[in-house]
Structure 1
Amino acid sequence: IMADHLDLLLGVLLMASPMFGIPSCSSDGRIALFRFCNLTEIPPVLNTTERLLLSFNYIRTVTATSFPLLEQLQLLEIGSQFTPLSIDKEAFRNLPSLRILDLGKSQIDFLHPDAFQGLSHLFELRLFACGLSDVVLRDGYFRNLTSLIRLDLSYNEIGSLYLHPSFQELNSLKSIDFSFNQISILCEEELKPLQGKMLSLFRLKATYLYIRVSVDWEKCLNPFRNIRLETLDVSDNGWTVAITGNFSNAIRGSQISSLILTYHIMGSGFGFQNLKDPDENIFTGLERSSVKRLDLSHGYIFSLNPRLFKTLKDLKVLNLSYNKINRIADKAFYGLENLQILNISYNLLGELYNSNFEGLRSVAYIDLQKNHIGIIQHQTFRFLKELHTLDLRDNALKTISFIPDLLTVFLGGNKLVTLPNVNFKANFIHLAENKLENLADLYELLQVSQLQILILNQNRFSSCSPSHAPSGNRNLKQLFLGENMLQLVWETGFCWDVFKGLSQLQILYLNNNYLNFLPPGVFSDLTALRGLSLNSNRLTVLPPGSLPANLEILDISRNHLLSPDPGLFASLSMLDITHNEFICECELRTFISWLNQTNVTLLGSPADINCMYPNSLLGVSLYSVSMEDCDEEEVFKSLKFSLYILFIVTWTLFLVSVLIVAKFRGFCFICYKTAQRLLFHDRTQRIESDRYRYDAYLCFSSKDFEWVQNALLKHLDTQYSDRNRFHLCFEERDFVPGENHITNIQAAIWSSRKIICLVSRHFLRDGWCLEAFSYAQSRCLSDLSSVLIMVVVGSLSQYQLMKHQSIRGFIQKQQYLRWPEDLQDVGWFLNKLSQCILKKEKGKKEDSRIQLRSIATVS
């Protein structure tokens, strides 16, 4: 709208004009700012005032004499008064040049029918949330407003839209907003004064239209007859398939470029059949309406049925996001030969088939992000000849062999571990937040000759095979490799040539890569590089010549730089060097001198460029450090240098050790256990003989039996292997056939030293499992000890666990275990679980009355 009407653009500029520096409750001659000034009447202002802001006061009455003659005033804001407002006849007649009048959010107790007379230049009138009724439309309150373009009557108490004949004279009117009123029905007779006009926007959002009354459409007829609408917004009205179909038939032939039907209740939703999904007849009435944009987002559509949009031949943009779409029937998009943009993001799609997008000959952009797509057939997108952008972010894809020749590909947030031999021809590829590990994939991507922007943030690059030749890509402009593990790649000595030949690269992100060194000459070919991010690494030094000669912007904040050479920054125009660990000794004097004299723009606060050593200068800004006494310390220079080298070596060895242990922790644990058996001659801790029949009772859902058997029983239960130490009880083997199930559960609980509950999604749906969990808690209370061990299996959130009262009570007071996601942690976990079974609990409650059930609890 604002692109078509310069007056509306002017209104936005007037509202957005800066008012900084103007004290509250004062005027600078052009802007009078009187918000929150406890005013009860209009204050005197200069006749040169262009903007008068009077909101949030206590003004009760506006009359013809309230304002002095303000011939230059263009904006008046008098809404949001804290008291009811009364507006008399010709109240604004002394404001002949007024363009915008804002009365919104003021409770108007009295509004004279001639209140707006004399405002011949007014193009925007804001009357939202003023408590107005139908009278304001019926009685000609807006007559003679020949320049009025935008009328906002949202959030009022309007019940019907019978317009006064004077609306026929409002030839400039383009936008009317009736949102959030209570307009139960709208028929042809009511909008007759608008016939013959073209409106940019007609909004009826959240008005309960047609849902509280029974409509006789044969009598009601077409409310928009002979009215051309660029945008019709009837969203958030709770329309069903039947109401939408009746409405589209009623407005048959009316020209509507954009139809907004968001926040509807069409569709059965996921797992329900109480409401219908739209069918091929729902939009039949729009066949001659030339609809170019249709918004059906935020609903419950589950299935896109065949020929659903067959009558919308002119449609160019279709938004189906935020529904529950799980199925796309054959020929669902039949007839949409002119569609250019299709948005099906935030739905429940799991698979895509070759026939899903049949008929979309002109589609150029398809948005499928935030679904659950894991499988896509090979030919799904290949027949879409005009498709140039495909967004598949945040799905569950493990392969991308289906990708056709596209200009822009979004594949971030999937589960890609490696890239197959895909013949990319894109100039923009987004692969962030995947699981790519081998830098060989980057070498392959750099072979795409047209590629200009490549995003690979938040992957797992930590290895590289040295067999790949540099790409020599001469088109790549921006490369994002942040939040990976390039340190693990480069410390092997391989793949230092990954940037070789990228002569046109301008932006490079290497932040958060654990880098503690830069390979020699790694940036030597980046002659066009202008911006480089190395922030949040572990760099302690930048060797001479390590940065590109023409670099202009460098972010090297949050590293461990000790004494940087200012000669490295000679070409820069902007530098961020905050949050480093500067050693404020004599070696730093050259840098401190440069810091106080340089013309380079330093980003961040000077307070964040401070000393970390010595302790006497900890936290002191480098701008405040004096180096006048440095000559006296030459005697100790050699010793300090030796200590510095020792610190760096020790710190590096520590970091490498931590990385190795973190990467190969499973192997380290196996070595530890092997050494323990050799040193102690395999003296496995034995369980003391006692009255318990079982060491532990395993409580789990029968649907998880196969997993439990492979993951636990084979490694712990003595009947599965002689090397195991525990005699375990579980339903499938040890419950007495034919015995009452509750009796079996109680017997297992009271005859076992420990109870282990394997809480999975199946467990939470199994009533017997939850019952056993409750009995186990009773056992804990009886023995005054923690005999219950809870193990959470799978990706269960805290919220899902807290929904069950018995489990909620346990996790609020006790710790629980979680089955590891990484296979190399399983051995450690089983050892931890074994220790919990073997551990004896203190504070056991003795009770001679239940001696047969009393057991020595073991955590």
Structure 2
Amino acid sequence: MGDHLDLLLGVLLVASPVLGISSCSSDGRMALYRFCNLTQIPRVLNTTESLLLSFNYIKTVTATSFPFLERLQLLELGTQFSSLTIDKEAFRNLPNLRILDLGKSQIDFLHPDAFQGLPHLFELRLFSCGLSDAVLKDGYFRNLGSLSRLDLSTNQIRSLSLHPSFRELNSLKSIDFFLNQIPIVCEHELKPLRGKTLSFLRLAANNLYSRVSVDWGRCMNPFRDVILETLDVSGNGWTVDITRNFSNAINGSQIFSLVLGYHNMGSGFGFHNIKDPDQSTFAGLAGSSVAQLDLSHGFIFSLNFRLFETLAELKVLNVAHNKINKIAHEAFYGLDSLQVLNMSHNLLGELYNFNFYGLANVAHIDLQRNHIGIIQEETFRFLEKLNTLDLRDNALKTIYFIPSIPNIFLGGNKLATLPTIRFTANFIHLSENRLESLDNLYFLLQVPHLQILILNQNRFSSCNQGRVHSESLSLEKLFLGENMLQLAWETGSCWDVFKGLPRLQVLYLNNNYLTFLLPGVFSDLTALRGLSLNSNRLTVLSPGNLPPNLEILDVSRNQLLSPDPDVFASLHFVDITHNKFICECELSAFIRWLNQTNVTIFGSHADIYCMYPNSLSGTSLYSVSTDGCDEEEILRSLKFSLFILFTVTLVLFLLTVLTVVKFRGFCFLCYKMVQRLLFEDRTLGRDSDTYTYDAYLCFSSKDFEWVHNALLRHLDAQYSDQNRFHLCFEERDFMPGENHIANIHNAVRSSRKVVCLVSRHFLRDGWCLEAFSYAQSRALAYLNGALVMVVVGSLSQYQLMKHEAIRAFVQKRQYLRWPQDLQDVGWFLDKLSQHILRKEKETKKDDSIQLQTIATIS
């Protein structure tokens, strides 16, 4: 556990720039000086735990280069742009250093005692430093009792003659000699490692044993008494003979994982000059307890008869990236413990019933990326422990061979339909095939125990009208992306495709050309938590479209114009990026929700933008203002404005009415003044040939003073030049000495109108009543309105009706009353003037009627 924690510490410290430390600075714990053009070790605080000095020009490291840094655990001096000289005890002031990185720095001089004084050093990185095998022979690593990982890859080491001090490195677990120039390793060279258990020994890419002639009798077993968890000898160009000789030489050494990748074994496709491995190739590994064997990246064409029969403890076999085209009978005989077989990226075209005989405990077979087009029905039938079968990216057109296993990978084949065979599975992968009819989906939903079904990138676009929907009580995840469900649903078919899926939690419907969601299509998905509708053509989403308990929704890359925020209110996460939002007032509710919601919105603000109008195209919705778009606020403002307008109007109206009522006299005077200013004064002159007077004022002599002040001064032209009427009244215009009745008759006949001012005195005056009767008879004779009656004072209707002549007039004609309020006098005089000026149509009756009327009145 401690080793793993130390490794994690190293990774974190090396990755320190991502923690926000700026270059060429220190925060007390981390000192970062990469690319700072340094030529010497900088002084740092004694609290520093990590010192990173790569990519500089430091040339020399001596015992005085570092101050005493008791807490320093990581020192990085790799990748210097100048050659490096490391002197004696150069790191003695770093007693607790755990990781020392000198990788990719050309070391011109390395003192044998350079690493002395580092009792806690856990990992030493010396890759690509130009070191020779002297670094192994001369005891450079003595006294490093805590050293666990030693990386000497990509150097110029030509021999593995280890110094005896390696015996003292009791913590050493991993040694990397990748890409050196080590031609041979023999038993005596690795004697200091005897009795040790190494988790990793890498001798890859050294041309080991391939460029020299090896006398195995003298060289013997280089790993005698060494336990190796992983031995990597890949990339050395081994042929079948070298592999066989090596296997025989290390017979008995415990190697749990043997990596022989990038080899030269096998004839390849179309060649026969190089042998494929045979029964003897790995026979020497019989006593090595090999559990994992990697033979990938070679040229093996045929897996020969009982090729691995001696590897009884083998659990993982990797023969991927070869040229395997044939599997001989009993090729896997003896692999009774094998659990994982990787045969991907080969040239298999057919599989036969006998191919996997002997794999009684195999759980995982990887056959992806071959050219398999035919598989016999019984090929996998008797593999009782088979858990996962991966046949992706082959050329299968049918799957009659499918056994009842939990996990089946069949993506990337040429399946156009599925046979109605019975099998069980927990996981089925069928993406990138040619399935068109949704009948295949209904069939798959009947597979017992199915939990995950992947059908992406098929051609689902049609449906059998009469099919009854299937139920799957176990399905939890369904992937139907990149199909054409829109075409099937447009025909009105398969609307029940998601019925009977009570445990479905995740559904992918992305890239299905969907322009609408069927009513209630998700209503039965009560357990659905995640739904992807990404990259469709949806323009509208309604709250009823989505499942009731949905938490995660992806509707990105659709054509949503003005979505209803209530659709997303119950979600926890939603992706609405890259839609075609119309940023008008219809979107205001959604924009307000976007800025206030607690729902987590995936994507950056810049990816949620307006598409229309052009003035806002590309603008983030988070930057769009909704001022003036709140309909309720506008309605409230409108109501308030209308209320204010109505109130002001009513108040002004009432004030106007009150003003007119209170000051109506003054208002009338103003009105008349304006009328005179704006319009020509069109005074109706009297007809001089017919009438002498405009009006005859008939009133009691007792009312003369009142009549004089109230009427004559304001109407009669002789009193003022501004008055327009020539009036006749007794005191001035009756002929003295003339019969009084004759004067009255002459006055009535000579006047256009007769104005009788009926007062209490008028009703008691016989001459006044005579004049009223004669004027009324004239009005009746000519059928005109020549008589104007003005009631003066508080005379009641009853008092007026007591007189016959007045009664007859009151019953048929309207009369005027003198106003009680003095301010109404002007208005009254104007009205009276209108009556005087009004021309009535006169119709003269025959003389007999006229004389009869006059006689009656007399």
In 2, Cα distance between equivalents of 1:627 and 1:230? 67
Offset of residue 6 of structure 1? 4.3
Give the letter for the 1:189 counterpart: H
Larger Rg: 2
Residue aligning to 2:661: none
1:146-295 alignment runs, 5 A limit:
146-295=145-294
Residue aligning to 2:84: 85
In 2, Cα distance between equivalents of 1:192 and 1:630? 86
Q: Secondary structure at the match of 2:244?
A: helix
Give the letter for the 2:551 counterpart: E
Does residue 399 (structure 1) correspond to residue 398 (structure 2)? The answer is yes
1:123-134 alignment runs, 5 A limit:
123-134=122-133
Offset of residue 550 of structure 1? 1.4
Residue aligning to 1:478: 477
Give the letter for the 1:218 counterpart: G
CA offset digits 1:48-68 (Å, max 9, x no partner): 111110011111110011000
In 2, Cα distance between equivalents of 1:489 and 1:414? 23
Offset of residue 174 of structure 1? 0.6
Residue aligning to 2:408: 409
Structure 1: state its 5+ residue gaps.
636-859
In 2, Cα distance between equivalents of 1:358 and 1:297? 21
TM-score by length of 2: 0.72
In 1, Cα distance between equivalents of 2:485 and 2:60? 70
Equivalent pair of 2:231/2:255 in contact (CA under 8 Å): yes
Residue aligning to 1:351: 350
In 1, Cα distance between equivalents of 2:322 and 2:260? 12
Offset of residue 472 of structure 1? 2.7
Residue aligning to 1:94: 93
In 1, Cα distance between equivalents of 2:582 and 2:12? 51
Where in structure 1 do 4 or more consecutive aligned residues deviate above 6 Å? 631-635
Residue aligning to 1:614: 613
Residue aligning to 1:74: 73
Equivalent pair of 2:437/2:462 in contact (CA under 8 Å): yes
CA offset digits 1:100-159 (Å, max 9, x no partner): 111111111111111111111011101001111111111111001011101010000000
Residue aligning to 2:707: none
Residue aligning to 1:424: 423
Residue aligning to 1:570: 569
Residue aligning to 1:505: 504
Instruction: Describe the shift of the 1:472–1:3 C-alpha distance in structure 2 as closer, same or farther (beyond 3 A).
Output: farther
In 1, Cα distance between equivalents of 2:3 and 2:631? 74
Equivalent pair of 1:400/1:422 in contact (CA under 8 Å): no
In 2, Cα distance between equivalents of 1:321 and 1:278? 15
Offset of residue 387 of structure 1? 0.3
Give the letter for the 1:463 counterpart: S
Residue aligning to 1:22: 21
Offset of residue 621 of structure 1? 2.5
Question: What is the Cα-based RMSD across aligned positions, in Å?
Answer: 1.7
In 1, Cα distance between equivalents of 2:631 and 2:64? 82
Equivalent pair of 1:232/1:259 in contact (CA under 8 Å): yes
Residue aligning to 1:543: 542
Of 610-619 and 100-109, more deviation after overlay is shown by 610-619
Give the letter for the 1:237 counterpart: N
CA offset digits 1:504-525 (Å, max 9, x no partner): 1111110000000111000001
In 1, Cα distance between equivalents of 2:189 and 2:627? 87
1:425-444 alignment runs, 5 A limit:
425-444=424-443
Q: Secondary structure at the match of 2:199?
A: strand
Offset of residue 623 of structure 1? 2.6
In 2, Cα distance between equivalents of 1:491 and 1:313? 59
1:522-561 alignment runs, 5 A limit:
522-561=521-560
Equivalent pair of 1:3/1:9 in contact (CA under 8 Å): no
In 1, Cα distance between equivalents of 2:226 and 2:630? 87
Give the letter for the 2:453 counterpart: L
Of 621-630 and 299-308, more deviation after overlay is shown by 621-630
CA offset digits 1:735-761 (Å, max 9, x no partner): xxxxxxxxxxxxxxxxxxxxxxxxxxx
Of 75-84 and 418-427, more deviation after overlay is shown by 418-427
Instruction: Describe the shift of the 1:200–1:53 C-alpha distance in structure 2 as closer, same or farther (beyond 3 A).
Output: same
Offset of residue 625 of structure 1? 2.8
CA offset digits 1:600-624 (Å, max 9, x no partner): 1111222222222233332232233
Q: Secondary structure at the match of 1:189?
A: helix
CA offset digits 1:636-686 (Å, max 9, x no partner): xxxxxxxxxxxxxxxxxxxxxxxxxxxxxxxxxxxxxxxxxxxxxxxxxxx
In 2, Cα distance between equivalents of 1:77 and 1:423? 62
Equivalent pair of 1:395/1:414 in contact (CA under 8 Å): yes
In 2, Cα distance between equivalents of 1:620 and 1:151? 56
Of 55-64 and 19-28, more deviation after overlay is shown by 19-28
Give the letter for the 1:104 counterpart: G
Q: Secondary structure at the match of 1:616?
A: helix
In 2, Cα distance between equivalents of 1:410 and 1:346? 15
In 1, Cα distance between equivalents of 2:92 and 2:616? 69
Residue aligning to 2:755: none
Q: Secondary structure at the match of 2:574?
A: strand
In 2, Cα distance between equivalents of 1:459 and 1:634? 51
In 2, Cα distance between equivalents of 1:341 and 1:166? 40
In 1, Cα distance between equivalents of 2:598 and 2:266? 63
In 1, Cα distance between equivalents of 2:94 and 2:140? 18
Instruction: Describe the shift of the 1:4–1:282 C-alpha distance in structure 2 as closer, same or farther (beyond 3 A).
Output: farther
Equivalent pair of 1:315/1:338 in contact (CA under 8 Å): yes
In 1, Cα distance between equivalents of 2:107 and 2:3? 32
Instruction: Describe the shift of the 1:6–1:615 C-alpha distance in structure 2 as closer, same or farther (beyond 3 A).
Output: closer
Residue aligning to 1:644: none
Give the letter for the 1:519 counterpart: L
Equivalent pair of 2:423/2:448 in contact (CA under 8 Å): no
Offset of residue 630 of structure 1? 4.6
Residue aligning to 2:365: 366
CA offset digits 1:415-462 (Å, max 9, x no partner): 000010132311111000000000011111111231111100000000
In 1, Cα distance between equivalents of 2:216 and 2:143? 34
In 2, Cα distance between equivalents of 1:3 and 1:388? 35
Residue aligning to 2:105: 106
In 2, Cα distance between equivalents of 1:13 and 1:247? 40
Residue aligning to 2:295: 296
Equivalent pair of 1:259/1:294 in contact (CA under 8 Å): yes
In 2, Cα distance between equivalents of 1:216 and 1:625? 82
In 2, Cα distance between equivalents of 1:557 and 1:133? 59
Structure 2: state its 5+ residue gaps.
635-858
Equivalent pair of 2:588/2:630 in contact (CA under 8 Å): no
Q: Secondary structure at the match of 2:187?
A: coil
In 2, Cα distance between equivalents of 1:160 and 1:365? 41
Q: Secondary structure at the match of 2:165?
A: helix
In 2, Cα distance between equivalents of 1:221 and 1:626? 83
Does residue 325 (structure 1) correspond to residue 336 (structure 2)? The answer is no
In 2, Cα distance between equivalents of 1:19 and 1:421? 55
In 2, Cα distance between equivalents of 1:18 and 1:230? 35
Residue aligning to 1:820: none
Q: Secondary structure at the match of 1:219?
A: helix
In 1, Cα distance between equivalents of 2:354 and 2:80? 59
